[in-house]
Amino acid sequence: MNAFIDAAITVFGRDGFRSARMEDVADLAGRSRTTLYTYFRGRTDLVLAIRHRLHPETNALFVRVAELVDPTHEQVRQWVDDFADVFDRRRVEWAISMEALSEPALHESLQAEMQAAITVLVEAIGQARRDGRQPRRARIEILFSQLLYTMHLVVIREVFSDRDEVMDELARVWLEELREG
């Protein structure tokens, strides 16, 4: 199964999610298409498997927010930089994941993933706050979306001319929330 996921990362990264062919994934994995379809119904299942590989690293970063009790800008900036490092190390997987976000067949699964990640963040921020107050969920949904999309634009697409300034501003926005909204 891992051979298929590794092959999918290569093929989707090279050809794009929508243009990738399952036959190419099977060939690169050194297996038959029949065997591939035994494990995965199609590209969407492979994308979910790729995203599943990203969970441990990203969830660990979300949980780390709880360690930021009375955080400084430098601590939050380090957290943002660590997030960027994960995006950078796993750039192909994140690019595939972001491309697949608009795929209707993935909508329900992606929505559940996002909600689970936001729940982890809300709980972690509540733990980090001295008064234990939970942040407003809607605000965390916005900040979470902003974090992911900014990472995509800054790290994957490299569209901003001053990465440092953008990352500093992202850290400032999160610091404001972490300091009890």
- Collect all residues with Cβ–Cβ distance below 8 Å to 121 and sequence separation of at least 6: 62, 65, 140, 144
Distances (CA, A) of 69 to 11, 98, 104, 151: 43, 31, 39, 24
Does the pLDDT of residue 135 top 90, yes or no? yes
- The first and second tokens of residue 100, run together, are 């697949």
Nearest residue to 143 via CA among 90, 79, 95, 91:
79
pTM: 0.88
Residue 30: both structure tokens together = 């050194």
Instruction: Record the tokens describing residue 14, joined without a space.
Output: 């090279």
Under 8 Å between Cβ of 88 and 167: no
Rounded to an integer, what distance in angstroms lies between the CA atom of residue 75 and that of residue 101? 30
Q: CA dist 27 to 43, 44, 123, Å? A: 15, 18, 44
- Contact between residue 174 and residue 143 where contact means Cβ atoms under 8 Å apart: yes
* CATH 1.10.10.60 in the chain, residue ranges: 1-40
State the architecture of 1-40 in CATH terms. Answer: Orthogonal Bundle (1.10)
Check residue 181 and give its pLDDT: 63
127: confidence class by pLDDT, cuts 50, 70, 90: confident
In the chain, residues under CATH classification 1.10.357 are 47-178
Per-residue pLDDT, averaged over 152-174, amounts to 94
At residue 26, the pLDDT reads 98
pLDDT tens digits, 49-86: 999 999 999 999 988 988 888 899 999 999 999 999 99
State the Cα–Cα distance between residues 20 and 10, nearest whole angstrom: 10
CATH number (1.10.287, 1.10.1410, 1.10.357, 3.20.20) of 47-178 reads 1.10.357
Q: Are 49 and 5 in contact (CB under 8 A)?
A: yes
Number of neighbours of residue 148 by Cβ within 10 angstroms: 19
